Chain A
Amino acid sequence: MKRFADLLELLALTPSRLRKLEALRRYFSEVPDPDRGIALAVLTGELDVRNVKPALLRDTVLAEVDQTLFALSYDYVGDLGETIALIWPHKAEGELPGLAELVDLLNHTSKADLPRVIGGLLSQAAIHERWALVKLATGSLRIGVSARLAKTALAEMSGIDLQEIEEVWHGLKPPYANLFAWLEGKADRPDIDHTARFHPLMLSNPIEDRDFEKLDPRDFSAEWKWDGIRVQLVMGSQGVSMFSRTGDEISASFPDVVESALGQAVLDGELLVGHDFDARSFNDLQQRLNRKVAQGKQMQELPAFVRVYDILFDGDEDVRALGWEARRARLEAWFAENPQTRLDLSEVLPFSSWDDLGKLRRQGADEHGHEGVMIKLRTAPYVPGRPKGNWYKWKRDPNVVDAVLMYAQRGHGKRSSYYSDYTFGVWKGNEIVPIGKAYFGFTDEELKQLDKWIRAHTTASFGPVREVKKELVFEVAFDSAQKSGRHKSGVALRFPRINRIRWDKPAQEAARLEDMDAFVG
Chain B
Amino acid sequence: MGFLIDRDLYIPAIDAWIDPPDPRPRAIITHGHADHARSGHGAVLATPDTVEIMKVRYGEDCAGEFQKLEFGKPLDIDGTEVTFFPAGHILGSAQVLIEAKGQRVVVTGDYKRLPDRTAQPFEPVSCDLLVTEATFGLPVFQHPDPRDEIARLLKSVVAQPERSHLVGCYALGKAQRVIALLRDAGWDKPIYLHGAMIRLCELYQSLGVDLGELIPATGMPKPAMAGQIVIAPPSAIRDRWSRRFPDPVVCQASGWMSVKQRARQALVELPLVISDHCDWGELNTSILESTAETVWVTHGREDALVYWCRQQGLDAEPLALPGLDDDGGEGGE
Residues on A facing B (Cβ under 8 Å): 9, 12-15, 65-66, 68-70, 72-73, 76-79, 82-83, 86-87, 89, 127, 131, 410, 412, 416-417, 463-464
Contact = CB atoms under 8 A, between A and B. Distances in A.
Given A72-B301, A72-B303, A86-B258, A12 B264 contact: yes
B307 A65 contact: no
A66 B138 CA distance: 12
Interface string B238-264: 111011000000100000001111011
Given A66-B311, A79-B261, 10 more contacts: A15-B269, A66-B308, A76-B301, A77-B261, A87-B139, A127-B142, A410-B238, A416-B250, A417-B242, A464-B266
B268 interface: yes
A15 B250 CA distance: 11
Nearest to B266: A464
8 contacts: A9-B260, A13-B263, A13-B270, A72-B307, A77-B259, A83-B140, A417-B243, A464-B266
B121 interface: no
A73 B138 contact: yes
Contacts of A69: 138-139, 304, 307-308
A14 to B, nearest CB: 6
A4 to B, nearest CB: 15
Contacts of B141: 86
Contacts of B21: none
Main SS of the interface on chain B? mixed
Contact of A127 (B258, B301, B304): B258
B240 to A, nearest CB: 6
B139 A410 contact: no
Contact of B142 (A9, A15, A76, A86): A86
B269 A89 contact: no
Given A9-B260, A76-B140, A463 B267 contact: no
Nearest to A84: B140
Interface of B: 138-142, 144, 238-240, 242-243, 250, 258-261, 263-271, 301, 303-304, 307-308, 311
Given A89-B139, A417-B242, A464-B267, A13 B144 contact: no
Nearest to B268: A13
Given A69-B138, A72-B303, A416-B250, A13 B259 contact: no
Contact of A410 (B142, B267, B268): B267
Q: Which 8 A-B pairs have the closest CB atoms?
A: A86-B140, A73-B140, A72-B304, A87-B140, A73-B138, A416-B267, A87-B139, A13-B269
A412 B140 contact: no
Contacts of A131: 260
B260 A127 contact: no
Given A72-B301, A82-B260, A412 B139 contact: no
A263 B313 CA distance: 73
Nearest to B160: A19
B285 to A, nearest CB: 14
A76 B326 CA distance: 13
Contact of B265 (A66, A89, A416, A463): A463
A464 B267 CA distance: 10
Contacts of B258: 86, 127
A392 B263 CA distance: 43
Contacts of A66: 308, 311
A410 B240 CA distance: 11
Contacts of B266: 464
Contacts of A65: 139
Contacts of A12: 260, 264
Contacts of A416: 238, 250, 267
Given A77-B259, A417-B238, A417-B240, A464 B265 contact: yes
A412 B267 CA distance: 7
A410 B270 CA distance: 18
A82 B142 CA distance: 13
A78 B269 contact: no
A332 B274 CA distance: 68
Contacts of B261: 77-79, 82
A307 B169 CA distance: 58
A86 B265 CA distance: 18
A83 B139 CA distance: 10
A186 B212 CA distance: 53
Nearest to A131: B260
Contacts of B265: 463-464
A111 B261 CA distance: 31
Contacts of A77: 140, 259, 261
A127 B257 CA distance: 13
A83 B271 CA distance: 17
A95 B158 CA distance: 26
B242 A86 contact: no
A358 B266 CA distance: 48
Contacts of A82: 259-261
A86 B259 contact: yes
Contacts of B270: 13
A70 B140 CA distance: 9
Contacts of A70: 139
A137 to B, nearest CB: 17
Nearest to B307: A68
B271 A417 contact: no
A86 B307 CA distance: 19
A410 B238 CA distance: 9
Contacts of B301: 72, 76
Contact of A15 (B267, B303, B304): B267
B239 A13 contact: no
B271 A13 contact: yes
A417 B240 CA distance: 6
Contacts of A410: 238, 267
A73 B139 contact: yes
A351 B239 CA distance: 55
A127 B138 CA distance: 16
A79 B239 CA distance: 28
A79 B270 CA distance: 20
B304 A73 contact: yes
B316 to A, nearest CB: 14
Nearest to A413: B267
Contact of B144 (A68, A87, A127, A412): A127
Nearest to B141: A86
Contacts of A464: 265-267
A87 B140 CA distance: 4
A121 B9 CA distance: 46
B135 to A, nearest CB: 12
Contacts of A14: 269
B27 to A, nearest CB: 31
Q: Name, among B142, B266, B308, the residue most crowded by chain A CB atoms within 10 Å (CB to CB).
A: B142
A388 B311 CA distance: 71
A13 B238 contact: no
A78 B141 CA distance: 14
A78 B262 CA distance: 10
A34 B258 CA distance: 30
